[in-house]
Amino acid sequence: MQTLTPNVELFHAKRRHFTCSTQTSTFIPTKPLSVFPATKNNREHLRNLENVLKTSSNSIENFNNKVSSRQDKTTTLLGGLNLARLWPQMKAAVDEMSPKNLKRLQRLLSKSSEERSPKNKLGSKWRELHGSNNWAGLLDPLDEDLRRELVRYGEFVQAAYQGFHSDPEGSPRDVALPDGSYKVTKSLYATSSVRLPKWIDDVAPDLRWMTKQTSWVGYVAVCEDPKEIRRMGRREIVIALRGTATLLEWSENFRPNLVSMPEPKPDPSDPTRPKVECGFNSLYTTGSQHAPSLADSLVAEISRLVDLYAGEELSISVTGHSLGAAIALLAADDIAERVTHAPPVSVFSFGGPRVGNREFADRLDSKGVKVLRVVNSQDVVTKVPGIFADNDKNKQGQNRNNGGIREMVERNNPWAYSHVGAELRVDMKMSPYLKPNADVACCHDLEAYLHLVDGFLASNCPFRTNAKRSLRKLLDEQRSNVKVLYTGKSLRRNRSSVLDYGDVLPSPSS
């Protein structure tokens, strides 16, 4: 840290402008500072002091008034002392303490003032936003409409998480969708093929949901609002899938060997066959006596909706996080394969692992399934499973044409995975609010992903200053990974006592 050395000569030069009063032991400048106007009398000062010391009753309106008053005093004092001129290094601190920035931070930390971006009409653009041109020219810099769509799909996945945690042993009665224009039409369940000893349930009966073979994993929702349908240019069907939650799902994640997909070919050992991870495929295709497989349930529901809305323009958006992102690829492939007259299918995934080999990626592409993966550079989940994976299309083409040793090893290696589709890469270190050394959980957290997407402009640009997404969820879920400046502000903002801004740091990038 750079040490600020005061200019002694400048201090002596300034000292003669102050005189010491014999009545009070306070330094009084010959010219009164603007923070203490001469017109204010003692009664007004006492009344202001009483208001500051008054205990807060969690009233947002009262809090805003106090903060605004404090901001005005702080800013006027800083302006009177002219710190930016005396110490140029403090200019960033002066800017950060400005009323505009403090008011914006207050809004981002508020639980009740979630600000939404305006919704533009997408009728002429929705196919492009859903990958008709593989998102060329829309990712870097990030298109504003695409940013809003990605955040919206992420919130559909958050609703799946919330629905599961509201009733992990059964099925949520009501899924709190982020958009009231949509209605849930089907609950989705995934079944594991792994069996655990019964004594595990006896040891921890309260955590029996962790060892359930079949668990609620997401839902199908359809837009029913005519106004929203006109805005989007079509009726949208959304499939939202949560990430790993149960012990059996974790066990499936650690079955990384590739297995062949059910495709009619004479030789199952053919290395050119599409293959996917064993555990993901098991969760998607396994059924039980209590519920059909996720594959059969999903295909039946999508077929029903396609027939129900025959004649309308439809789209299918499959979105998921982590394990849900992996299953989303299997679901998109299955829908394109088995649903008659299937509308365009697009996948929007967050923090998804690799799912299959290069032939699986080619299979999705040949069916017209469009995939956009949102990847955090610090998220290790997006780098597994697999040993060999080359995602550069030009290099892949060279490998195929050259037929080198690497190509032969990849084709015959049971862990030869490859990513699918286009990629939007965000970086945790670009956020001014998160610690650059955030832990693994934060790097993979869905809310952290949405925070990064909301602030992403381009790979060569800083975090956008007009980001609208509230920091409250991020603070609630990843407080230890948020910089002290903002956790301190948040604690004081919700504390029912005197507010103090004494530990405000000079800059959010510190």
Catalytic residues, by residue number, are 322, 379, 444
d(CA 8, CA 6): 6
Backbone angles phi, psi at 245, to 5 degrees: -135, -35
Among 181, 178, 14, CA closest to 83: 14
Instruction: Report the DSSP pairing between strands 235-241 and 314-321.
Output: parallel
Q: What is the per-residue DSSP string for 85-145?
A: HH-GGGHHHHHHTSHHHHHHHHHHH-SS----PPPPP-TTTHHHHTTTTTTTTTBTTBPHH
Q: Is 345 left (phi over 0), alpha (psi -120 to 50) or beta?
A: beta
Backbone torsion region of residue 162, taken as left when φ is above 0, otherwise alpha when ψ lies between -120 and 50, otherwise beta: alpha
229 within 8 A of 235, measured Cβ to Cβ: yes
Among candidates 177, 140, 108, which has minimal Cα distance to 453? Answer: 140
Side-chain half-sphere exposure of 79, counting CA atoms within 13 A: 13
3-state helix, strand, coil in the chain (%, to 5): 45, 15, 40
One-letter amino acid for residue 320 of the chain? G
Cβ atoms of 372 and 131 within 8 Å: the answer is yes
Nearest C-alpha neighbor of 386 from the set 362, 363, 352:
352
Count Cα neighbours of 188 within 13 Å in the Cβ-side half-sphere. Answer: 34
CB 355 within 8 A of CB 241: no
CA distances from 145 to 119, 152, 180, 186, 234 (A): 8, 11, 19, 28, 16
Which 3 state secondary structure label does DSSP give 285?
Answer: helix
Tell me whether strands 182-191 and 214-223 are parallel, antiparallel or unpaired. Answer: antiparallel
Taking alpha carbons only, the member of 392, 477, 379 closest to residue 427 is: 379
